[in-house]
Structure 1
Amino acid sequence: MPLDLTEIERVAILSKKDFLERYVKPQKPVVIEKLTSDWPAYKKWNFEYIKNVAGNQTVPLYDDRPVSHRDKFNAAHAEMKMSDYVDLLQKQPTNYRIFLYNLVKEVPLLKRDFKWPKIGLRLIHQLPLLFFGGKGSRVFIHFDIDYSNILHFHFQGEKRCILFAPDQTPYLYKVPHALISREDIDFDDPDFQKFPALKKAKGLVTNLKHGEMLYMPEGYWHYMKYVTPGFSMSLRALPIHPANLVRAVYNIFIMRHFDNLMRRWKGQSWIDYKNDLALKRTHRTLGIQTA
């Protein structure tokens, strides 16, 4: 039995008015297929170009290992020269990913290749973030710490994106004091016996191809899998709902520091405690009886 997923709506292009009225105000995801068609990046952005302009940059890498008490919040697992990393992506499958990296800050030349979309969101110009991954690599399901509205652009290859609205959180086994679900859930092939609440979750799905943009409203859960090696860029806008702005401030200035403190104090028992609590709370809230 697969997850209950509906294809995300797609449009070729949208006016500012339609984007705001039809998607931002109701907080509804959409794929805009042709938004980047007049960007230099549409023709230029591929692995060889990135290698040529940013090959000497040392980049932080993440893999799919479970969260450990030894790791700080969002701490990288390794480093590599961008040129070596691109070679690795093209040579063989790898779990190493680049995640939330402001490569544009390190290589200002890249700023010339894209345009800031004028579609009604006040985008944060200091934070164009890049993401890279090899074939089959996955990003654990999570929602963003700052509750941003996100414009997620994909380049080179194909990427599968699964989203869940914030109101689906009760079914997703959210880990306390964190932005993630339990990491032993395989969202490609979930174990409904162990995680029966997932059967109630209603999600959205799309496969992004080169140049396409996915709008992810604030607080949306997202799981990403690279169907082929590729890379993406996210542009962000602050939350428009005051309650989400308060949640963002709490996450950034209180939650993540508390979690780091508890990891140092309690070690792996803190991680294990949170994972166990995620299971118990979800089943108790939904009245699910398990062995």
Structure 2
Amino acid sequence: MMNLFDLSGPDAIEIVPFPTDRDGLISFIQKRQPVLLSGVHDALPFIRSWDYEFFRNCLKSIRIQRKSEDGIYHYLGFERISMTDFDQVMATTQDGYALEPLRGQGVSQDLPPELSVSLPAFVPESGFRVSNLYIGPGKNKSLLHYDETHSLLMMLEGRKRFILFSPDQSECMYPYSPFSLKALLENRVVDSRIDCQDPDLVSFPKLNQAAGLTGWLEEGQALFIPAGTWHFIEAEGRNVSVNYFWLQNSLKDWLNQPLLDFWIKRRAIDVLDQLRKVKHKLSAA
């Protein structure tokens, strides 16, 4: 059976030392070029002791999501459970993937001082959105999707396999239409319609023209994913990672796919939300 990793192209991802200056990633940002960064623990000493045991002892509770029927974590529904219960999930059913905001948008609990997150020099404070903690039991998979922000994913324990497709391959990724009301209501803003475990080249023939960039994100490395880059990530065993999302896009980026679609979809969802509020007020009246 074919999977998405079979669409790997001939190029290998570049590996460079973790930048320590403000413009350390600027050439990769301007070229929209993904890159692996080595030496994370030396560049960011505050994460040296961060592994599963550290967070198990540090956190009282954690926000998790459950697998959907297709085995994918869709980042839609979350529940907060005690760290003791999550530890039990990790050891038994393995039906749960943790996503806990540590800094920025969405932080919902008082975190201990040892979980203080510093920004790398190349992440501008003005554009910073959120830093998330991710903990998975293994075999956890993402959707094939893109983000409107740049992303830096740091591997603290375990390893993850990834495949990336550049923004100019968006037509081959079969995103949901910005004019599909059903997709907008389901919040399908950045997702692909492709089943990553069993890509259907008959229904999605342009997928056969795609050439992905694949590799492994190893412990102590970070993966820079430029805004608008399609990606699918799958963990091997127990895994702990922390990321940064930040906005640093030019007008040119917003005028090209897939970020142009993203802008249209977000405006459409805002309109739908306003219509819901009006309907609610009318019903209440």
TM normalised by structure 1 equals 0.72
- 2:213 maps to a residue whose letter is L
1:26 is aligned to 2:40:
no
Secondary structure at the aligned position of 1:115 is classed as: coil
In structure 1, the gaps of 5 or more residues are: 68-72, 263-291
How many Å separate the matches in 1 of 2:93 and 2:16?
A: 32
How many Å separate the matches in 1 of 2:76 and 2:265?
A: 16
How many Å separate the matches in 1 of 2:133 and 2:275?
A: 29
Change (3 A) 1:95 1:166: farther
How many Å separate the matches in 1 of 2:166 and 2:64?
A: 29
Change (3 A) 1:204 1:86: farther
Change (3 A) 1:245 1:197: closer
Question: How far has the Cα of 1:241 moved from its partner?
Answer: 1.3
How many Å separate the matches in 1 of 2:270 and 2:134?
A: 22
How many Å separate the matches in 2 of 1:103 and 1:13?
A: 21
Q: How many residues align?
A: 250
1:116 is aligned to 2:124:
no
Question: How far has the Cα of 1:200 moved from its partner?
Answer: 0.5
1:76 is aligned to 2:74:
no
In structure 2, the gaps of 5 or more residues are: 179-188, 277-285
Q: Which residue number in structure 2 is paired with residue 275 of structure 1?
A: none
Q: How does 1:1-291 map to 2 (within 5 A)?
A: 2-5=6-9, 6-14=11-19, 16=21, 19-54=24-59, 56-65=60-69, 74-76=75-77, 78-89=79-90, 91-92=91-92, 94-99=94-99, 101-104=100-103, 105=107, 106=109, 107-112=111-116, 114-119=117-122, 121-122=124-125, 124-125=127-128, 127-144=130-147, 147-177=148-178, 178-182=189-193, 185-187=195-197, 190-244=199-253, 247=260, 250-255=264-269, 258=272
- 1:233 maps to a residue whose letter is V
- 2:248 maps to a residue whose letter is P
1:224-244 deviations in whole A, cap 9, x for unaligned? 111111122121221321254
CA RMSD of aligned residues (A): 3.3
How many Å separate the matches in 2 of 1:62 and 1:186?
A: 19
Contact 1:150–1:217, Cα closer than 8 Å, also in 2 = yes
Secondary structure at the aligned position of 2:133 is classed as: strand
Q: Which residue number in structure 1 is paired with residue 279 of structure 2?
A: none
Question: How far has the Cα of 1:9 moved from its partner?
Answer: 1.0
Change (3 A) 1:186 1:82: same
Contact 1:20–1:120, Cα closer than 8 Å, also in 2 = no
How many Å separate the matches in 2 of 1:120 and 1:233?
A: 14
How many Å separate the matches in 1 of 2:66 and 2:126?
A: 26
Contact 1:47–1:86, Cα closer than 8 Å, also in 2 = no
1:36-67 deviations in whole A, cap 9, x for unaligned? 3243444311111101111x214131424369
Q: Which residue number in structure 2 is paired with residue 70 of structure 1?
A: none
Q: Percent identity?
A: 22
Secondary structure at the aligned position of 1:210 is classed as: coil
How many Å separate the matches in 2 of 1:126 and 1:173?
A: 27
Change (3 A) 1:153 1:58: closer
- 2:251 maps to a residue whose letter is P
Question: How far has the Cα of 1:190 moved from its partner?
Answer: 3.0
- 1:181 maps to a residue whose letter is S
1:118-147 deviations in whole A, cap 9, x for unaligned? 136456556212222221110111112xx1
Moved more, 205-214 or 115-124: 115-124
Question: How far has the Cα of 1:256 moved from its partner?
Answer: 6.5
- 1:97 maps to a residue whose letter is Y
How many Å separate the matches in 2 of 1:260 and 1:78?
A: 26
Contact 2:162–2:233, Cα closer than 8 Å, also in 1 = yes
